[in-house]
Structure 1
Amino acid sequence: MTAAPPVAAPTVAIEVEGLRKTFGERVVVDNLSMSVQRGQIYGFLGPNGSGKTTTIRMLCGLLTPDAGRGTCLGLDILTQAREIRRHVGYMTQKFSLYTDLSVRENLEFVARIYGVPRPEAAAQEALVRLGLEGRGRQLAGELSGGWKQRLALGACILPQPQLLLLDEPTAGVDPQARREFWAEIHALAAEGLTVLVSTHYMDEAERCHEIAYIAYGHLLAQGTVPDVIAGSGLVTYVVEARRGAGLDPTGTIAALGKALKADPVVEMVAPFGISLHISGHDPATLAAAIAPYRERPDLAWSQETPTLEDVFIDLMLRSPDTSR
């Protein structure tokens, strides 16, 4: 008799529908539905107090929703939350390991707490993987922000979770450390680890396979970065002040920005050095608003694809703050 082929692991890591969570009379998450593929890096964006952390905690069984249904890693988020938590690594923004223990001692302690086989060997493997082998004897409290985050990541992945939660993991970390951190996150995802990350950095959001924008409990946009930008409906012009003898590019841009912000048909004006991003949703109205300035010799105009930051700010401006 021919043996049955092995059953393939489900490709969907998280699938939820109609999630709702309230604290007292305040609705923190309202009717949220989404799907996350295994091995995907899924980014959560949104203003402070918008429900990002609450959403992440419901998705992985750390918080029970008041309404809705769904699965995480093939387990029911309502009835199997404890089992889900056994497969989750959670890295908080604040460093939460023992500052008076060495890097190696912290990793060995975590390995023993989670019952990892051969904890010393497991800690050594984590040291090598994350480039910490030269710092094994250093006290964790003496590490810089970037190295602390790398150590925290190593502790999170020691028990070999299937799902990793990162809550603004690189806040206050220098650009090189952030890039190295994200390189490791992508390496982990390529090995099949699913990652949920909340961030305010647009360059980090662009490193995610998909993103979701949540504002005050409502999911306003989700998909790949190009899809979210295309779905925003924004039209963006970029104007740059020319440099040259007798020209004042800084003053020119400041005056132009002030004039355009005073125009009620211009929805958004954002300065970038000696240039401005000018955006709106009605192409004809926006074109008419900037027409008087298009022929000025001291200005160079172009129409460009909106940036993710343009979309982020637009969504924020159009989202009423219901957190108060």
Structure 2
Amino acid sequence: MTNASPRRILLTGAAGFVGFHVTEALLAQGVQVLGIDNMTPYYDPALKQARLDRLTPRNGFSFEPIDIADYDALQASFAAYKPDAVIHLAAQAGVRYSLDNPRAYAHSNLDGFLSVLEACRHNPVSHLIYASSSSVYGANAKVPFSEHDGADHPVSLYAATKRANELMAHSYAHLYGIPVTGLRFFTVYGPWGRPDMAYFKFTKAILEGRPIDVYAEAEMSRDFTYVDDVSEAIVRLAALPPASDPNFDAASPDPASAAAPYRVYNIGNHTPVRLDRFISVIEQACGKQAIKRHLPMQPGDVQATYADVRDLAARADFSPDTPIEEGIARFVAWYREFYGVAG
């Protein structure tokens, strides 16, 4: 196993929220990045284009508009670019959208991920890092969520596709020796974020004086993770491809380990925050009070998320720690500037 940082990375989802920030972090370190994105209109494509417009002039960045489920096009990019490593962040996101549009998740998250795995198989890379989700923990009630616990009871199709990604990744690591790392993201937020996320909707509505829909406010808590912390974790882990665990016990398997070069890590702030407090922090940053419309918990939602990040800290010597007061203030400042909303 080498700890050398890859210098040529193919990154899918480059115009997406996390992909944009990770690309910026990599370019700042002098890494060459080929960005892949199909600019899907799941949310405002103009925001994706604005992110891409910031990346395009940067030295070391190139872009190809490809749907990852189009294997021939993706394979051609791999063959021409010859990446050292791959960071796969493209996906159909969103829990509630998966209730109405399940086939979009099969297309992007299953067919698309299979294309990435096959491209890595036929164009060997030193490391494949891919985005999973805290949603894989599903019906688990034991907190904090640990990679050493099972994650086999998803409560949404989105979560099921992300868990399927982990299983698919393990099979390719086992069969073809591809070093693969899965990252279970916990409610990522920050500037340039996704408009379908609650904090974005809340900020927009509060600043416009409109009501916000609040689902099970007193019951819900989330491990809100600032996007720069996520980028830092990814950049560090990119230089740390996993190896086979010599202590793996097939008679009593640990879900966090493997005989294959395969690992999963939680990427979370390990400090769950109740939804009512989170809204209060947004109100403070906006300088306005929210008009709340209280609603019950929605199908596919989980009551609380809480990350155990000890494995991440041990491996990467880093764990996310940006307080929500700081992260939300940065987001609201970005929102005001980007959308021209007076302070």
TM-score (norm 1): 0.29
Choose between structure 1 and 2: higher strand proportion.
Answer: 1
Choose between structure 1 and 2: higher helix proportion.
Answer: 2
TM-score (norm 2): 0.28
